[in-house]
Amino acid sequence: MIDFENLAVAMGELDEDTVKEILEAVDSAEAANVAMEACQKGMDTVGKLFEEGEYFVGDLIYAGELMTDAVEVLKPYLASGAAAGSKTRMILCTVKDDLHDIGKNIVRSMLEANGFDVLDLGIDVAPETIVERAKAENIKIVALSGVLTLALDSMKATVAAFKAAGMDDVKIIIGGAPVSEDSCKVIGADEWAHSPQKTVSVCKSWA
C-alpha cells in the first residue's frame, strides 16, 4: 500500500530519498494520479514555507527539480491514460519580463504525459513572438506562465495581441503564483490554473 500522505510530507520536507522510494512503488495510472496530487500538496507546503521565510530561493529551485523528477517517474503511467491517435499541438511559455521556468517545465511534462505535442517557446517571450508562432503553426491552445507580478501585464498584452491579430479562436490559459480568478478576468484569458493538473484538464477540454 502506497503511503500518499507520507509522500506529500516528504515532498514538503524536500526529502528526496523518501520521495523516490515511494514513487518507485507506483505501478498504475490511478496510483500515479494520486501520487501527482500528493506531490502537488507537498509543493504547496514548500511555497508556504518560502512565504514564511523558512525556505529560501535555493530550496524552491531544489523543490522544482524534485517535482520535475517525480513527473518523469510517473510519466509512463500518466501517459497510459492519454488519448491515442494524433496529438494536439499547443504553445507553452513564460511571458515577457519573467525568467522563471520551473513551473513551466513541470506543466510541460504533465501535458506531454497526457498526449499533447508541446511547443515550448522558453522564457521571457514577447507577445508578438507568441502570436507569430501560433499563426505559423496553426495552434489553437496557448498556455502562459509567470511567477512575477510583472507577468500579469505581459499576459494581458499577449491576450490583446491575439485579439488585435483577429485570432479570437485561440484559447489561452494563464498560470503561476500571481494568477487568480480576478486577474484572469482583467487579463481577458479563457482560463487560469495554479496546478499542473488543472492546466491539463482545461487543455484536454479544449483539444
Length of the chain: 207
Share of the chain residues as helix, strand and coil, in percent rounded to the nearest 5: 55, 15, 30
- Whether the per-residue pLDDT at 123 is higher than 60: the answer is yes
Residue 97 near residue 154 (C-beta atoms within 8 A): yes
Query: Residue 47: which pLDDT band, with cuts at 50, 70 and 90?
Result: confident
Distance separating alpha carbons of residues 10 and 45, to the nearest angstrom: 10
**Per-residue pLDDT for 184 more than 60?**
yes
pLDDT at 144: 98
Which grid cell sits at 153? 501585464
Give me the pLDDT at residue 168, please. Answer: 95
Higher per-residue pLDDT: 1 or 73:
73
> Does residue 75 have a pLDDT over 70?
yes
For residue 145, what pLDDT is reported? Answer: 96
Res. 1: pLDDT tops 80: no
Local confidence band at 84 (pLDDT 50, 70, 90 cut-offs): very low
Residue 79, pLDDT above cutoff 90: no
Max CA distance (Å), the chain: 54
Percentage of residues in the chain having pLDDT higher than 70: 96
What is the pLDDT at residue 64?
A: 85
Query: Considering the chain, what is the average pLDDT of its residues?
Result: 91
Task: Answer for the pair 80, 168: CB distance below 8 angstroms, yes or no.
Answer: no
At 60 the pLDDT is: 84
Question: Is the per-residue pLDDT at 80 higher than 60?
Answer: no
| Model confidence pLDDT, tens digit, residues 132-182 | 999 999 999 999 999 999 999 999 999 999 999 999 999 999 999 899 999
For the stretch 188-198, pLDDT in tens is 999 999 888 78
* Mean pLDDT to the nearest integer, 86-102: 92
Q: How far apart are alpha carbons 65 and 164 in whole angstroms?
A: 38
